[in-house]
Structure 1
Amino acid sequence: MEDIKESEVTEFLPHRKDALQVQNAPFGKNAKRLAILAKKELGGSSSDLAYKKDIDRKKGFPIWLVLCTLSSTVGASTQFGYNTGVITVPAQYMRAFYNESHNDRRGSYMNPDAHTWLWASTVSVYCIGALFGALTAGFFSNKLGRRGSLLFSNVFSIVACVFIGISKFVNIYELVLVGRVISGYHSGLINSLVPLYMAEIAPTALRGFIGLLHPLLMCLGILGAQVIGFYMFNGEHEWPVLLCLPPFLASVFQLVTLPFCPESPRWLYMNRKDSDGAKRALVRFRNSKNVDTEMKQMEEEYEKESCEERMGVGRLLYMVVFEKPHWRKPLLISCTLCLGLQMSGIMMVWFYITDIFKQANLSDSQIAVGTIILGSLNVLGTLISSVLIDRLGRRPLTIVPSFILTVSCVGITLCTRYQSQSEWLQWMCIGFIAVLVLALSGGPGPMVYVIVSEIWPQAPRPAAMSISYIVNWSTNFSIGMFFPFLRNLFGEFVFLLFAATMFILGMFYFFKLPETKNKTFDEIADFFRKEKQTFYEREGQNHINNHGLKYSNCNVSEV
């Protein structure tokens, strides 16, 4: 092995500063070469490494990691996407049911304004429920665990399905609104819980790819809702089945499979102080008994956070303002990423895509095909980003598409403004919409779920994710409520608001967003901690140098 050049070895190792991490990367036959590099990096003998016994042995297939990922994403992420995208397909039949139900029970039909308001409420209460789901996700994830909270969340999904499913049979349209609120609450929960669980069970080298499976399956759920709605349950009396059956089956799938999966090792170690349980979970996730390196990393991170209690949203905000200034930048990054997801213009595209297609003189069948094509682009973009994220990194996949979104919004504005003068401008407008969908799904859209879960230490991570997704759902709700008024006020120029927002956010990401590819949670936390070192921390370092004092996280002692 001694004749191997260092240049031949370094290309296989994404963690040169921590050579022991290689045992968790899927390098297989290159393990011996990595041992050479470990010797050079650590200044010691490769025979002294903790994974010596496993270095020449090919790791087994991580079956439990795959099962947990499938159970979490197929059982929850697809459900979230499905519930988000399904409501527009049966809109005309549901609105007719509202009117008929009102007439049967009260002897008169609704006036047009009340009818419109009721349908707008059906759409918007989903976001209100999701906002409260995001608010409480941190509490449940700390109390019940990541896996336990996901299992518990299925109660809300099933109850929502029951309310919506029986509404037509008992002729009470108010049950639809109640079901939508509960369904939204479930979506708010899983939109925080799934990325959190995925980030904590994934190996560092695969954390980006596994983290993107949540938005990928979410996009598949949206596409599935469009296909099923247009081509399967598309009758006047079938909308309750369309809204309820697929989410119910997804919940049943998760309830059957997820109990066999291990809990998050990080939650077991750092929240429950169960080192034995954490090690057993890691052994199952990695399909290897040699998990000492990851256990040591969790131990070191726990020691740094030993004074930081598990916290809720209010406690986190207090600490960001008064006690932990190095948490301000991660919080700002998390919130701006979620803001960018909603201010990209994508919500308005989905709301008004039918009108845009009709202006291009497309038939109903062509509109259905066009909508499904856009949904397929949504999936394609996320799939491309999942392949590139651990190669190119998070920064380029967030920054470059942000500026592409800016150009797309400007293009949509201009084409919409002058489309009456030329038919080809109508098709160009559809082209800009396709670019917008592809850019968002291949960049800032899925990056939200990876970056927000990566840039926080263990203690504040659930609360920080709750705050971020509260911003997400609040913005979603606000756009849905006020966009019609803005559209009436500014006309087609309203998309310039989204263009300006994405340009500003793109510049912010360029200057402030760090690269987290191939970095451990502890390394990312150290980056923000060192970047925002306070006066007192600098003074403490001076005392260490001058007076021989050793500072821990919680006490001061003589060296």
Structure 2
Amino acid sequence: MGKENLVENGSGQYSEKPKATFSLIMGVAMAVIGSSFQYGYNIAVVNAPADEIKDFFFGPYKTVVIINSTTPAYNYTTAMTSLNSTQFPFTEAVIKTETIVVDEDLRVYRDNMYAIAVSAFAASGMVGSILVGPVVKRFGRCGGLMVNNCISLIAAVFLGFSKLANSFIMIIIGRVFIGIFAGLATGIVPMYIGEISPKEWRGAIGVLNQLLITIGILVAQLLGLQGALGTPDLWPILLGFTAIPSIIQIIARPFMPKSPRYLLIDQHKSDEARNTLVKLRGTDNIASEMDEMQNEADSEISVGQMSIAQLFKDHTVRWQLIIVLSIMVAQQLSGINAVFFYTNEIFESAKIPAGNQQDLASVGVGVVNVLMTIVSVGVIEWAGRKSLLVWGFGMMIFWCIAMTVVLNLLQTITVAWISYLSIACVIGYIVGFAIGPGPVPWLVTAELFRQAARPPAFMIACLLNWTCNFLIGIGFPAVNKATGPYVFLIFMVVCIAITVFLSLVMPETKGKTFQEINNLFAKRNGVRESSTNNDKSMRIPLKDFGNEAGDRV
């Protein structure tokens, strides 16, 4: 084996470099394209065509009333040709005056009905998160994705044909189904890609989950523009588009590998797990990884998959659970989805002109979100999980303060350029979120728990995340109205609290096996470290490389 195929583990030992095999690429790509993309898409898809949908189902709340009035007008032609006649050279001119009449009751009804459809996504997302454990236990990780695609297709039918059926109830039902889909996806996808990824790439691959979410948000913003599908005629296609990623994933199912950890630890199929792992790694040298999984399987053979109640009672995962739940709460209560759900309203309060300028500003926010998540993919295995979380939340603190200052200035200063500072503040806020607090929480949830605890951990983490998401979606307009330009100070307090907490208690997990990560918490949890072979079977001393390696040392 040549040295070019090995990577140093930091202790003078070498292990074989991971390979981007076809099996690994297909598993990760189809999981994030078919599921994560849809989650992001459906976060933002209802924003742009909101007025068109409300106008179709409930009618416009603004009506133009034309008032006709008459006034004498001098007719020059009649006067010149009829000087000797008795015809009076004056006629009555009709003046048309347009007045916009606002039906306030209809406006409130429209907004309330649409709020129900929007919030149904987050409410049913909570239901989907509760189903993560039972679904992956019954169908496995890969099979769970296929079950979830069926839910997505049902949602697409209701959403896409709602206009044809002239039924707003179908919009609400569609949003309920797609919310259940999203709740399941937020648990199953990071679990699946984390279990099939080599430990050296688990961070970067885990961030791909969030990257496709951000791309989904951006695509929804672009397709929702008036020049695309956000029109009175095409918005059903915009909503029904969510079926396409599911169809792609279903077609690609035969090429997606099962989780070898699920096969070995949960189903005790060691031969199938070994064959799957060989395809994923592109090598027969998988003894160390098989041993690590087998050790975990042996230690949990009498446990099986934990329930949520058992998870909370198990003191061996106490601090892992505290950290993950704290991050999930902070991710949502930092206000990120308030920004995405109500971007146009935020820009309107900052006096950005309505229409194309607000839409383009929203798209700009989406582009930055994607670009900075790509940066996170590139640096996470270098910077580490903890650093990206701490620095990301730290940046959000600064931009919350900046946004508060800008919004206050707008109360007293009418200079146009100050309004556009709000765009810069929102973009800065998104940069901080996208670099760490956006992608990393889902990754560390997959990393911090052993196999038996992972499904219930995802269930409770996703449930808490979706609950906070729902509360932000429902409560932000009222809070924003009550606090005015100081609303971002609430988010700032959350960011400060989580930054201090993570700095003090969270360990770094990059490049470590699941068993090694579990041992990082042993002392804090008050338990003994479990034995691990630390991948010794794949580690090769430099002296075994031959003279060439020795000369280079």
Q: TM-score, normalised by structure 2?
A: 0.83
**Partner residue of 2:147?**
152
CA separation of 1:264/1:361 partners in 2, compared to 1, >3 Å: closer, same or farther?
closer
Instruction: State the shift of 1:91 in Å.
Output: 0.4
**8 A Cα contact 1:212 1:450, kept in partner:** yes
Letter in 2 for 1:355: E
**Partner residue of 2:469?**
476
Work out the CA distance in 2 between the residues paired with 1:144 and 1:126: 24
Instruction: State the shift of 1:312 in Å.
Output: 2.9
Instruction: State the shift of 1:361 in Å.
Output: 4.1
The correspondence of residues 192-271 of structure 1 with structure 2, limited to 5 A, is: 192-230=187-225, 231-245=227-241, 247-271=242-266
- Residues 383-416 of structure 1: CA deviation (Å, up to 9, x unaligned): 0011000011111101011111111111111210
The correspondence of residues 22-421 of structure 1 with structure 2, limited to 5 A, is: 22-23=15-16, 25-26=17-18, 61-100=20-59, 111-230=106-225, 231-245=227-241, 247-317=242-312, 319=313, 324-358=314-348, 359-362=350-353, 364-421=355-412
Q: TM-score, normalised by structure 1?
A: 0.82
Letter in 1 for 2:31: S
Letter in 2 for 1:348: A
Letter in 2 for 1:326: T
Work out the CA distance in 1 between the residues paired with 2:405 and 2:105: 38
Instruction: State the shift of 1:15 in Å.
Output: 5.4
Letter in 2 for 1:240: P
**Partner residue of 2:484?**
491
CA separation of 1:384/1:266 partners in 2, compared to 1, >3 Å: closer, same or farther?
same
Instruction: State the shift of 1:365 in Å.
Output: 2.3
Bigger Rg, structure 1 or 2: 2
Work out the CA distance in 2 between the residues paired with 1:250 and 1:137: 20
- Residues 24-79 of structure 1: CA deviation (Å, up to 9, x unaligned): x34xxxxxxxxxxxxxxxxxxxxxxxxxxxxxxxx6x5111011111111111111
SS in 1 for 2:273: helix
**8 A Cα contact 2:318 2:525, kept in partner:** no
Question: Percent same amino acid at aligned positions?
Answer: 30
The correspondence of residues 389-538 of structure 1 with structure 2, limited to 5 A, is: 389-422=380-413, 423=415, 424-534=417-527
Instruction: State the shift of 1:234 in Å.
Output: 2.1
**8 A Cα contact 2:450 2:515, kept in partner:** yes
**8 A Cα contact 1:65 1:201, kept in partner:** yes
Letter in 2 for 1:419: L
Letter in 2 for 1:242: L
- Residues 230-257 of structure 1: CA deviation (Å, up to 9, x unaligned): 1321210211100112x11111100010
**8 A Cα contact 2:447 2:514, kept in partner:** yes
Instruction: State the shift of 1:533 in Å.
Output: 1.9
**8 A Cα contact 1:81 1:219, kept in partner:** yes
SS in 1 for 2:487: helix
**8 A Cα contact 2:132 2:187, kept in partner:** yes
Number of residue pairs matched?
485
Work out the CA distance in 1 between the residues paired with 2:254 and 2:310: 31
Work out the CA distance in 1 between the residues paired with 2:59 and 2:215: 34
Work out the CA distance in 2 between the residues paired with 1:262 and 1:179: 30
Instruction: State the shift of 1:100 in Å.
Output: 4.4
**8 A Cα contact 1:395 1:515, kept in partner:** yes
Instruction: State the shift of 1:101 in Å.
Output: 12
**8 A Cα contact 1:99 1:109, kept in partner:** no
Higher RCO (CA < 8 A, seq sep 6+): 2
Letter in 2 for 1:118: M
CA separation of 1:514/1:226 partners in 2, compared to 1, >3 Å: closer, same or farther?
same
Work out the CA distance in 2 between the residues paired with 1:129 and 1:384: 32
Instruction: State the shift of 1:109 in Å.
Output: 11
Letter in 1 for 2:34: G
Work out the CA distance in 1 between the residues paired with 2:409 and 2:500: 30
Work out the CA distance in 1 between the residues paired with 2:497 and 2:398: 13
Work out the CA distance in 1 between the residues paired with 2:224 and 2:36: 19
Letter in 1 for 2:390: I
Work out the CA distance in 2 between the residues paired with 1:128 and 1:211: 25
- Residues 311-334 of structure 1: CA deviation (Å, up to 9, x unaligned): 2323323x2xxxx22312111111
Letter in 1 for 2:524: E
CA separation of 1:433/1:250 partners in 2, compared to 1, >3 Å: closer, same or farther?
same
Gaps of at least 5 residues in structure 2 are 62-102, 530-553
CA separation of 1:15/1:62 partners in 2, compared to 1, >3 Å: closer, same or farther?
farther
Letter in 2 for 1:87: V
CA separation of 1:165/1:271 partners in 2, compared to 1, >3 Å: closer, same or farther?
same
CA separation of 1:357/1:232 partners in 2, compared to 1, >3 Å: closer, same or farther?
same
Instruction: State the shift of 1:308 in Å.
Output: 2.2
**8 A Cα contact 1:402 1:506, kept in partner:** yes
SS in 2 for 1:457: coil
**8 A Cα contact 1:487 1:494, kept in partner:** yes
**8 A Cα contact 1:212 1:386, kept in partner:** yes
Letter in 1 for 2:25: V
- Residues 141-195 of structure 1: CA deviation (Å, up to 9, x unaligned): 1221100000111110000011112211111111110110000000001111110
Work out the CA distance in 2 between the residues paired with 1:189 and 1:518: 27
Gaps of at least 5 residues in structure 1 are 27-58, 103-107, 539-559
RMSD: 2.5
SS in 1 for 2:439: helix
**8 A Cα contact 1:141 1:462, kept in partner:** yes
Structure having the higher strand fraction is 2
Q: Runs of 4+ in structure 1 displaced over 4 angstroms?
A: none
Instruction: State the shift of 1:492 in Å.
Output: 1.6
Structure having the higher helix fraction is 1
**8 A Cα contact 1:269 1:298, kept in partner:** yes
